[in-house]
């Protein structure tokens, strides 16, 4: 089985007139399906899709990794191109999500649209905390268990409900798992619950150990060197052959990973087209 991943939106962009913005969106083509994984923060995904000659009306479904604005802000524009589509996600995407860090003004970072508006534009939300199978070889992870001692959720992320503010455990943070003959391919949005935890979840769901590739955000931009070292060692232990780092990885973590993973590492930015295996 051949897998093609085209990054339609990311923080940085290849040459060629692509738009970049903080966020991510990837078109995943595998097992006879065309899945849009996340929608970016604004108009960049639809703009870059047009630039690449990609017809968004041909996608089968949309998967949202979690309910932050930089992964969902482009959904309205996407729906204008696709018409009615199923949108797979966790129920907690509709929580009232904020960033509240010391020294910074509190800001809303949740989905920037009302559910009713998106549904009026054709979104058919399929919400589940459990893994959802999209084809015989493709599934979502559902909730990712917190297993590693060195991966933690950003304490500056909170949810508000009934006037109370509590830490956001990001239970809605999920990934896409492709069970290919040559190994597992895992597509991540931010991996808020840990990139290693996410890959461990993929292994558990499929019963397979070899993770051939991980592509997407790793949420390592605030990680210290101890976490970076432990993460790198875990990735190498899984046999990882390709790591396409995006979005919330950050330049420091990307440089660290590149120095230790060598040719397995690549920057997965806007306009990147990857065919696996390869």
Give the CA dihedral 152, 69, 202, 8, nearest 10 degrees: -130
Report how far residue 156's alpha carbon sits from residue 167's, in angstroms, rounded to the nearest whole number. Answer: 8
Beta partners for 62? 36, 87
Question: Mind listing the domains of the chain with CATH numbers?
Answer: 3-144+153-272 (3.60.15.10)
pLDDT at 54: 98
DSSP string, 188-228: ES--TT-HHHHHHHHHHHHT---EEEEEEE---TT--HHHH
pLDDT at 278: 80
pLDDT at 244: 98
Token pair in block for residue 34: 């065309």
SS3 at position 142 = coil
pLDDT at 138: 98
Per-residue pLDDT of the chain (278 residues; tens, 9 = 90+): 999 999 999 999 999 999 999 999 999 999 999 999 999 999 999 999 999 999 999 999 999 999 999 999 999 999 999 999 999 999 999 999 999 999 999 999 999 999 999 999 999 999 999 999 999 999 999 999 999 999 999 999 999 999 899 999 999 999 999 999 999 999 999 999 999 999 999 999 999 999 999 999 999 999 999 999 999 999 999 999 999 999 999 999 999 999 999 999 999 999 999 999 98
Token pair in block for residue 197: 């935890």
Token pair in block for residue 232: 């790198």
Report how far residue 159's alpha carbon sits from residue 190's, in angstroms, rounded to the nearest whole number. Answer: 17
């Amino acid at each position: 089985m051949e897998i093609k991943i085209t990054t339609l939106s990311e923080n940085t962009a290849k040459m060629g007139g692509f738009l970049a913005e903080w966020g991510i969106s990837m078109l995943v083509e595998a097992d006879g399906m065309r899945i849009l994984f996340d929608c970016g923060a604004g108009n960049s995904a639809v703009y870059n899709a047009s630039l690449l000659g990609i017809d968004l009306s041909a996608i089968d479904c949309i998967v949202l990794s979690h309910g932050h604005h930089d992964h969902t802000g482009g959904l309205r524009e996407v729906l204008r191109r696709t018409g009615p589509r199923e949108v797979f996600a966790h129920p907690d995407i509709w929580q009232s999500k904020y960033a509240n860090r010391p020294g910074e003004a509190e800001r809303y970072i949740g989905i920037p649209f009302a559910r009713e508006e998106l549904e009026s534009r054709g979104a058919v939300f399929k919400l589940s905390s459990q893994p959802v199978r999209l084809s015989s070889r493709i599934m979502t992870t559902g909730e990712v268990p917190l297993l590693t001692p060195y991966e933690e959720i950003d304490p500056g992320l909170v949810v508000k409900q009934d006037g109370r503010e509590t830490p956001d455990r990001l239970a809605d943070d999920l990934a896409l798992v492709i069970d290919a003959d040559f190994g597992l391919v895992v597509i991540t949005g931010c991996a808020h619950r840990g990139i290693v935890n996410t890959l461990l979840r993929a292994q558990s769901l499929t019963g397979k150990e070899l993770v051939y590739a991980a592509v997407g955000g790793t949420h390592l931009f605030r990680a210290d060197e101890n976490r970076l070292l432990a993460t790198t060692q875990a990735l190498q232990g899984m046999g990882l052959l390709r790591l396409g780092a995006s979005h919330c990885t950050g330049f420091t973590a990307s440089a660290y990973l590149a120095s230790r993973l060598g040719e397995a590492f690549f920057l997965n930015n806007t306009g990147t087209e990857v065919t696996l295996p390869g």
